[in-house]
Chains A and B, each alone.
Chain A
Amino acid sequence: MNMSNPDFHGSLHAAPAGRGAAVEFDHISKDYGDLTVLHETSLRIEPGELFALIGPSGSGKSTLLGMLAGFVPPSYGAIRVDGTDIVAVPPYRRNIGMVFQNYALFPHMSVAENIGFPLKMRGCSRGEIAERVKRALAMVRLDSMGERRPAQLSGGQQQRVALARAAVYDPRLLLMDEPLGALDKNLREEMQEEIKRLQRALGATVIYVTHDQQEAAFLADRLAVMRAGMLEQIGTPRQLYEMPGTHFVASFLGEASLLPVEELLARDGREVRVRTPGGLVIRALAPSRVSERRAVCLRPENIVLGPAARERDNHFLGVVEEAVFTTGSLRYRVRLPGSDSVLTVRVPSHPGIELLAPGSSVDVGWDAAMAVTIADD
């Protein structure tokens, strides 16, 4: 990631870590007539946490955020911020900061007026507004831009103004709805750094909605994968990537190869031996949380090709079906013997390595600890 912006000018106020709000969704749900957009959901977000909600569009993540902001009244349940139910509190009294995907900067106001707007609504004096706007502009490194109109700024600058505006009144909870969705890739990575730094400086709890799994994994302390109005899995980015509970989570976060499981042969603590429909016997990890295990999930970088594969817990002789160079790695599709299971394998690329030819046989192997059984859905 891009680390080229070290000149962060510190927080608006001496913001101690741990001043963020605790958020609790308590058996919350939302339906429009017969259409349920959010099934009964309970979720607790810790003070100061950067929590990401990810999932495809229509999965309910924006509904959850809208409920917290006060735009979408829940059909059932309670939403508590620091223990107080806020469902009946109108949006303008919730004191929650929000950054929108299209930034929603008021086009008829200057940058400084935009940032000063929440302070004006709170009845701050002119002098105080000027002072705090100045500090907020410095914080997002736009010191000289106060007099400009939003339309005169670049996308990244507009985004920073939106951040400053949502943070200038020191909310203890910040909501971000795909805040980087409209930016190009390089700028997005730079802004991710900025958001992370800002969050640390403010100490606020941040709830971040995105459909970009890389962004979520980089930013979030914890994340929740949503699907069809339900929480599919919650955990740290590493937990979700390495121990996905379902096929959906496994393929939503990064690349995964799935081998179907026909029969459980043996279980020894967390390790199991399973048989695939093609007759392959595979050793893998089985986290106990989910009862129904229907497939083995493998990440492409955890599979070894060549002679070294023979020393692994699982070892087969496969056939290369496809071989391509991608930046930084060689990417193979390898068919396992006696089945139509094809594994995606990624091997670090360097000048001393030959690209295997399609059609050639190759040893494929991985340790039991690198394969995880998941619910196949």
Chain B
Amino acid sequence: MRANASEPLWRIVGLGLTGFAVLVLIYLVAPTLAIVPLSLSPDPFLRFPPPGVSLRWYEAFAHSIDYQLAILNSLKIGIPAAALATACGVMAALAVVRGAVPFRRTLAALLIAPLILPQIVLAIGLFPLMAKVGLVGTYPGIVLAHAVVTMPLVFITVSAALRTYTPSFELAAMTLGANPWRTFVHVTFPMIRAGIVVGFIFALTFSFDELILAMFLTSPTTRTVPRLLWEQLNYQMTPIIAAATVVLLGATIALLCLAAFAATRSRHLSGGAKGVQP
């Protein structure tokens, strides 16, 4: 394409492509961003376009006990769920990528399944089981459920990190006298740290935004921010929902930026350090 860029026809095609890409981007992002002007509305109802500009709903959001509780719940659920998912995901990735396990392709597919299967299926399956053991509406119940759906995210990022270098680093550590645990602590962990951090952030973000499992498995005392938003949408259509959504969106974007930063930083640190040639 580049070599022909001087030809008028190709130039027109190139401009057309760029224009199309911009339109796609707008199409993807605009509906999400439409929430921002909505949240700035002075009106007591959600309607577009908003008649003016005001921060009253942000103020209402900041003073809402319901939202404060929901944010606290989201953190109380998201952090332990992401931690649990990270612990399990790292071990699963180590076993599948480095271990001598049979059927590793099938195993990898099964491990990713919770992410691909509709969450409603998992929710419907989990609900009677959790009800039986009395976990519905409790923190452990939703933490376990979120750990299950977010574990594949950690599994994927850590598997990718493990595949960037040959196992000879671990073999070398062992010949040098490090038992499997110390090999993990001193060699494997530092080399996959970025993958673990990114996986944890993805898991946390996912739990923070997850609605379906939260609807089935939380109670009014353990409800998360997405569930609260959903309930408010059903009963009162005030722009406080829009304000809360914008805050949630901001938090999610901040976490994803953090993940991107962690990934870039690790690539910079170990750049060219894969140990082959000068």
Q: In angstroms, how far is the closest chain A Cβ from the Cβ of B21?
A: 37
Partner-binding segment picked from B72-80, B109-117, B163-171:
B163-171
Q: Which residues of A contact B191 (CB under 8 A)?
A: 106-108
Q: Which residues of A contact B177 (CB under 8 A)?
A: 92-93, 95, 118, 121-122, 169
Q: In angstroms, how far is the closest chain B Cβ from the Cβ of A182?
A: 5
**Does A326 make an interface contact (CB < 8 A)?**
no
> Can you name the residue of chain B whose Cβ is closest to the Cβ of A97?
B175
Q: Chain A contact residues (Cβ within 8 angstroms of B): what range?
A: 35 or more
- Considering only residues 304-330 of chain A, those with a C-beta below 8 Å from chain B are none
Q: A102-B276, A108-B270, A149-B273 are in contact. Are A92 and B174 (CB under 8 A)?
A: yes
Is B278 within 8 A of A71, CB to CB? no
- Considering only residues 60-92 of chain B, those with a C-beta below 8 Å from chain A are none
- Considering only residues 162-219 of chain B, those with a C-beta below 8 Å from chain A are 166, 168-169, 171-180, 182-183, 186-187, 190-191
**Does A290 make an interface contact (CB < 8 A)?**
no
Q: Which residues of A contact B180 (CB under 8 A)?
A: 92
Q: Which residues of A contact B174 (CB under 8 A)?
A: 70, 90-92
**C-alpha spacing A95/B171, complex, angstroms:** 13
Q: A108-B269, A108-B270 are in contact. Are A94 and B175 (CB under 8 A)?
A: yes
Is A104 within 8 A of B169, CB to CB? yes
Q: In angstroms, how far is the closest chain B Cβ from the Cβ of A174?
A: 10
Q: Which residues of A contact B275 (CB under 8 A)?
A: 102-105, 107, 150-151, 158
Is A107 within 8 A of B168, CB to CB? no
**Does B52 make an interface contact (CB < 8 A)?**
no
18 more A-B contacts (CB under 8 A) besides A91-B171, A98-B172, A108-B191? A69-B171, A90-B179, A92-B174, A92-B175, A92-B178, A92-B179, A95-B177, A98-B171, A104-B168, A106-B190, A108-B273, A150-B273, A151-B272, A156-B278, A158-B275, A158-B278, A169-B177, A182-B277
**Does A249 make an interface contact (CB < 8 A)?**
no
- B232-272 near A? 1/0 per residue, CB < 8 Å: 00000000000000000000000000000000000001111
Q: A108-B269, A149-B273 are in contact. Are A154 and B186 (CB under 8 A)?
A: no
Residues on B facing A (Cβ under 8 Å): 166, 168-169, 171-180, 182-183, 186-187, 190-191, 269-278
Q: Which residues of B contact A92 (CB under 8 A)?
A: 174-180, 183
Q: In angstroms, how far is the closest chain B Cβ from the Cβ of A98?
A: 4
Q: Which residues of A contact B178 (CB under 8 A)?
A: 92, 117, 121
Is A153 within 8 A of B176, CB to CB? no
**C-alpha spacing A91/B276, complex, angstroms:** 24
Q: Which residues of B contact A150 (CB under 8 A)?
A: 273, 275
> Can you name the residue of chain B whose Cβ is closest to the Cβ of A99?
B172
Q: Which residues of A contact B176 (CB under 8 A)?
A: 92, 117-118, 121, 165-166, 169
**C-alpha spacing A94/B176, complex, angstroms:** 9
**Does A155 make an interface contact (CB < 8 A)?**
yes
- Considering only residues 246-299 of chain A, those with a C-beta below 8 Å from chain B are none
Is B273 within 8 A of A71, CB to CB? no
Would you call the interface of chain A mostly helix, strand, loop, or mixed?
A: loop
Q: Which residues of B contact A175 (CB under 8 A)?
A: 175
- Considering only residues 43-88 of chain A, those with a C-beta below 8 Å from chain B are 69-71
- A139-170 near B? 1/0 per residue, CB < 8 Å: 00000000001110111101000000110010
Is A106 within 8 A of B169, CB to CB? yes
Q: In angstroms, how far is the closest chain A Cβ from the Cβ of B212?
A: 40
Is B186 within 8 A of A151, CB to CB? no
Interface centre among A90, A108, A118, A149 (most CB of B within 10 A): A108
Q: Which residues of B contact A166 (CB under 8 A)?
A: 175-176
Is A91 within 8 A of B187, CB to CB? no
**Does A96 make an interface contact (CB < 8 A)?**
yes
Q: Which residues of A contact B172 (CB under 8 A)?
A: 98, 100, 104, 106
> Can you name the residue of chain A whose Cβ is closest to the Cβ of B270?
A107
Q: In angstroms, how far is the closest chain B Cβ from the Cβ of A32?
A: 11
Q: A121-B182, A150-B273, A150-B275 are in contact. Are A69 and B175 (CB under 8 A)?
A: yes
Q: Which residues of A contact B278 (CB under 8 A)?
A: 153-156, 158
Is B175 within 8 A of A107, CB to CB? no
Q: In angstroms, how far is the closest chain A Cβ from the Cβ of B123?
A: 42
Q: In angstroms, how far is the closest chain B Cβ from the Cβ of A321?
A: 41
Q: A91-B175, A100-B171 are in contact. Are A182 and B187 (CB under 8 A)?
A: no
**C-alpha spacing A311/B190, complex, angstroms:** 72
**C-alpha spacing A92/B187, complex, angstroms:** 14
Q: In angstroms, how far is the closest chain B Cβ from the Cβ of A158?
A: 7
**C-alpha spacing A94/B171, complex, angstroms:** 13
Q: Which residues of B contact A95 (CB under 8 A)?
A: 177
- A-B contacts, 28 of them at CB < 8 A, read A70-B174, A70-B175, A91-B175, A92-B178, A92-B180, A92-B183, A93-B177, A95-B177, A97-B175, A100-B171, A100-B172, A102-B166, A102-B168, A103-B276, A104-B166, A105-B275, A106-B169, A106-B172, A106-B173, A107-B270, A108-B270, A117-B173, A117-B176, A117-B178, A118-B177, A149-B273, A150-B273, A182-B277
